Structure 1
Amino acid sequence: MDVEGLALYIHWPFCVSKCPYCDFNSHVRDSVDQHRWRVALLADLAHEAALTPGRPLSSIFFGGGTPSLMPPETVAALLDAAERHWGFAPGIEITLEANPSSVEAARFADLAAAGVNRVSLGLQALDDEALHFLGRAHDVAEGLAALDTAQRSFDRVSFDLIYARPGQSDAAWEAELARALSFGTGHLSLYQLTIEPGTRFATLAAQGKLPPVDPDDAARLFEATRAITAAAGLPAYEISNHARPGEESRHNLAYWRYRDYLGIGPGAHGRRGGTATVRRKKPENWLARVDATGHGLESEEDLAPATRAIEALLMGLRLEEGVDLARIARRTGMAPDRLVDEAAITRLAKMGLVAREGSQLRILAPGMLLLDAILGDVVAASD
């Protein structure tokens, strides 16, 4: 049995409004029965706990949706129950995603008192026109006020920005990033704008009303982002995440390092040993499932060794540290020579895109621009 601690993900699916770029499992509802939701989440939590005894939690992540809309007493109840069920590893990281509105910022002190010690704030831009384009409900002033409140309330603070927006110049992004770094947080999540299927932006793009970003422009912005954050002491540790040493998101590292994680709430995914779990996605369907069975599970699937190996490679090669092929082989039973295409690795290494040192394989900075293509070449696991 793996002695590593467990990671727990709790999904809160509700938002005040749906952003045009968002393809997450988020929903707008006129009202939410808070008591019913608290009871249901506690039941879903207890179901997972009964299946994973004896392993403490190393991290908890409240995602969404907009978890900062959760009543702090619900957060407290879930954390109290989680500690009773599993126990907390020393120094557990407890993160909550938050929107930077004044209403939600007013809850930060209560959320910290409930046990949250890290917040991930969805600023998304430091420009009012860009925020309007992105469909955000806050402006820059409100966002920065929320950031200030967060830094006074929580031990650790991260925030998100979206760049490579239509019409965004190199100089404008570099100035925005420099301003972001000046606030002194230990972690930044910096994402290029992508047009996801099923979103409002996808509809606009299909109608020719949202021009695509030129790939060369996006690549140049990506390289500048890495250089600027590294010079500021927050190097990239994952393709879109930057942190001071020791400030990396431990919860997300559990995903990227392919450790066990549990997911509860609508649409949440988990990896429990070699089993993939998926909760019902629509909030009302998830609630009905919990009412009927005591849990929100839609499916549980035992994953084949090759599938687990591929997942571990696809997740781990996003990291600057890369993957340990010998570790993946031990965890999945797949022989190292069946995990990767050695000829492709040799060819890509000569091009300066990947590095292989013993059993450690990693994508170099120039290769991160071509990550999807490289993954297609390198991954060779099969049944």
Structure 2
Amino acid sequence: MSSAPALDPVIRHLYVHVPFCPSICPYCDFHVLTRRAGLVERYLAKLDEEAARLADTYDTQLDTVYLGGGTPSFLRDAELGALVGSVQRHLGWGALENTLEVNPGTVSPERAALWRTLGLGRASVGVQSLDDATLKFLGRQHDAAQARSAVSTLVDAGFRVSGDLITAVPGQPLDADIHGLVELGVGHVSAYTLTVEPGTEFARRGVTVQEDDERAGFERTEELLTAHGFERYEISNYARPGEGSRHNLSYWQGRTYLGLGPGAAGHYPATPGADGRWLMADGEKILSVRRTNPHLHEWLAGAVGEDEGVGAEDYVTDALFMGLRLRSGIDLAGLSRRSGIDVRERYRSPLAHNVSRGLLALEGDQLRATPQGWWVLNRVVTDFLET
């Protein structure tokens, strides 16, 4: 294969992390914290500085911007306006899609109209459930009525709306949750199994998720949403035609993107070091660079994340892990061109092994996970890592 992989040197996607939340959910292990006097102002000032630095460093022509967290919609109107202004002034704005993560308790018709005037056209709403008992168990601050009202308000304001659901919650009326969300007019649903991460409140309380419940929720969600005309285009994401998340596709397709804000992760084109080399310590060529920013207080003090060079084999296994999450799978010929590795030859053994087990399907150059393979995807990708 050629040693000159064809990674796009232009960055077309931006993730902005807003770490502030009204409260911390017991299952959450993201970098979030409650706001304190003066902290948001310092955050916004530093964010503006970082946006300017990224603009000076990278060639950026944005297609998508994603404001995540945390709870970006928890920012006051003037604060959110300042954040959007910093992004637009230094980096531009998404030509195809601009998403705001929304907590149902922060929505009003007036705020939805303001968000639209700021150039935000897609809302990802943390519904989680439309059942009050389930929401209480999850530690959510909103109730089902607020969730319904928020989604309806955003749909009426002209947003493309995605609703988040958490499945496999004890006692959850999943069928009613899904039917109710569809009836509210969302075009996209993200359905994630409840996961108990170390260090969370749920972990300290000994909450567990039964595999049978996880599997049942995994299968029932697809059954109901596909019956309503949604396509399962990624393991945990369903969309009506044209309603898939363009921003999240950049992750699943292995594209480069900027990470702005404390705790934000970015995937950047490789640039030569001070000595003009594009090599890692072991002599392997760097294809791209991953960087995760430090948490808020270190970030405010000027700390920066360490660059991690991504070589060809790491790029391939990362791309397989993310790309196989998509129903369409991944084009091995394109992956070979980008990485400089003949993927079919290099990974002949794990490809044949997992195809024979019915976990992967290979049609021409298109490799995809089967429904059975989706369920054990971590195990499938481990076969490639160990080759």
The normalised TM-score by structure 1 is: 0.88
Deviations 1:342-363 (A, max 9, x none): 3333333233321101221110
Is 1:287 matched with 2:300? yes
CA contact (8 A) 2:51 2:91 kept: no
Distance 2:187 2:209 in 1: 29
1:139-218 matches, cutoff 5 A:
139-168=143-172, 172-205=173-206, 210=207, 212-218=208-214
User: 2:23 maps to which residue?
Assistant: 17
Deviations 1:97-142 (A, max 9, x none): 1100056775222122111111101011111011110000011111
How many residues align? The count is 363
The Cα of 1:3 is off from its aligned counterpart by: 6.2
Deviations 1:245-298 (A, max 9, x none): 2111111000110101000110111011111122111x1221111xxxxxx622
What amino acid is the match of 2:299? W
Q: Which residue, out of 358, 370, 376, partners 1:352?
A: 358
User: 1:292 maps to which residue?
Assistant: none
CA contact (8 A) 1:98 1:104 kept: no
In structure 2, list runs of 5 or more residues that go unmatched: 1-6, 270-287
CA contact (8 A) 1:188 1:242 kept: yes
Q: Which residue, out of 244, 248, 267, partners 2:240?
A: 244
The Cα of 1:379 is off from its aligned counterpart by: 4.5
CA contact (8 A) 1:265 1:279 kept: yes
The Cα of 1:4 is off from its aligned counterpart by: 6.1
User: 1:232 maps to which residue?
Assistant: 228
Distance 1:357 1:307 in 2: 24
In structure 1, list runs of 5 or more residues that go unmatched: 290-295
Moved more, 105-114 or 361-370: 105-114
**Closer, same or farther: CA 301–102 of 1 in aligned 2, 3 Å:** closer
The Cα of 1:46 is off from its aligned counterpart by: 1.1
**Closer, same or farther: CA 366–123 of 1 in aligned 2, 3 Å:** same
Where 2:306 maps in the other structure, the secondary structure is strand
Moved more, 127-136 or 305-314: 305-314
Distance 2:111 2:267 in 1: 32
Where 2:152 maps in the other structure, the secondary structure is helix
Is 1:98 matched with 2:130? no
Identity of aligned residues (%): 40
The Cα of 1:20 is off from its aligned counterpart by: 0.4
Deviations 1:172-210 (A, max 9, x none): 3223212222222110011111111110111112xxxx3
Where 2:45 maps in the other structure, the secondary structure is helix
Moved more, 147-156 or 246-255: 147-156
Moved more, 347-356 or 181-190: 347-356
**Closer, same or farther: CA 138–339 of 1 in aligned 2, 3 Å:** farther
The normalised TM-score by structure 2 is: 0.87
**Closer, same or farther: CA 343–303 of 1 in aligned 2, 3 Å:** closer
Distance 2:311 2:118 in 1: 40
**Closer, same or farther: CA 348–307 of 1 in aligned 2, 3 Å:** closer
Distance 1:344 1:333 in 2: 19
**Closer, same or farther: CA 317–32 of 1 in aligned 2, 3 Å:** farther
Is 1:71 matched with 2:76? yes
User: 2:268 maps to which residue?
Assistant: 272
The Cα of 1:81 is off from its aligned counterpart by: 4.0
Where 1:73 maps in the other structure, the secondary structure is helix
Where 2:186 maps in the other structure, the secondary structure is coil
The Cα of 1:303 is off from its aligned counterpart by: 1.9
CA contact (8 A) 2:257 2:266 kept: yes
CA contact (8 A) 2:11 2:268 kept: no
**Closer, same or farther: CA 12–2 of 1 in aligned 2, 3 Å:** same
What amino acid is the match of 2:293? R
Is 1:82 matched with 2:95? no
CA contact (8 A) 1:68 1:104 kept: no
Name segments (4+ residues, structure 1) moved above 6 Å: none
Where 1:253 maps in the other structure, the secondary structure is helix
Deviations 1:140-193 (A, max 9, x none): 11111111111122431111111111244xxx3223212222222110011111
Where 2:56 maps in the other structure, the secondary structure is helix
Distance 1:203 1:357 in 2: 46
What amino acid is the match of 2:294? R
Where 1:297 maps in the other structure, the secondary structure is coil
CA contact (8 A) 2:264 2:292 kept: yes
Distance 2:85 2:33 in 1: 27
User: 1:365 maps to which residue?
Assistant: 371
**Closer, same or farther: CA 32–62 of 1 in aligned 2, 3 Å:** farther
Distance 1:244 1:102 in 2: 26
RMSD: 2.1
